Amino acid sequence: MDQGLFYAVCAAGVLFLMFRRRKGQPRRSLFRRPPSNEPAEGANSMPRIGVPHTVTIEQLDQLEQFSFPRERSWSREEADLIIDSVVYLRGVCAETIDDPEPELRIQNELLKTILTEQDLRDYVRAWGEKRRAEGKQGTDPRPMQHNNQYERIQRAIRQLAGP
């Protein structure tokens, strides 16, 4: 009888150690896939660039002016890209619909378009780097260069803003 009780207590202890939850860690599943840095197939997302958590206070202040939360996990490069994208799309909005600050819904849709389409993202990134190299600061990029990327954003603005 004592031997059976001993085995039962040992089995219960082993099961407890195997299935106990650690503080702050979610319960692991045997059948769940491990997390991946790759976006799901077909997902609209901007790939991560730069070193995370390197965003500057000045960038956070400017992002906050553009209605973004103060998110410290961004890299300097990601913050620059987002700031450049908002400045670019607001410049196109100013020339297209005479409104340099479109409603947040329109801004977010245009931002999504720029950040998820590789060629637009690359163009705006290079455009922003060139502006910084030339010492151009501020949020009014006009006059804008009219090219294929400009026309694509302009078409998107017209679709979102309506007639």
Block mean pLDDT (10 aa), the chain, length 163: 71 66 51 44 68 92 90 91 92 90 90 93 94 83 89 92 73
pTM: 0.71
- The torsion region of residue 53 among left (phi > 0), alpha (psi -120 to 50) and beta comes to left
Residue 43 contacts by C-beta under 8 Å, 6 or more apart in sequence?
none
pLDDT at 81: 93
Helical H segments across 66-134, by residue range: 76-97, 104-116, 118-133
The 10 Å Cβ neighbour count of residue 146 is 11
